[in-house]
Amino acid sequence: MITIEILKELFETIFGQELNLDGISESSDLRKDIGMNSISFLYMAMVMEEKYGIKFNNDDFEKIATVKDVMETVESKVQSR
């Protein structure tokens, strides 16, 4: 199961110390609140694919806007394996 703590660790890996992890919640917008761009999205996807044995497709990226969206998408993919 993916948790917000797991995502915070991933965001820390992507952004380092420049991101305030305390301010991240399930409703945080990945682009506006966290500052993700297409490269950081791809990096996040690669890490998640490796960690959970799943595959993201282009449609997934269009649906993912918040931390909760990431959690739900990963959970759905893990359950459907």
Averaged pLDDT, groups of 10, the chain, 81 residues long: 90 85 94 92 92 92 94 94 83
Backbone angles phi, psi at 35, to 5 degrees: 85, 25
The amino acid that residue 5 corresponds to is E
C-alpha 5/C-alpha 63 separation (Å) is 22
pLDDT at residue 56 in the model: 95
Q: Write down how long the chain is.
A: 81
The model's pTM: 0.90
pLDDT at residue 50 in the model: 93
The HSE-up count of residue 33 (CA atoms within 13 Å, CB side) is 16
Domains and CATH numbers, the chain: 4-79 (1.10.1200.10)
pLDDT at residue 15 in the model: 85
Whose structure tokens read 């917008």? 29
pLDDT at residue 46 in the model: 93
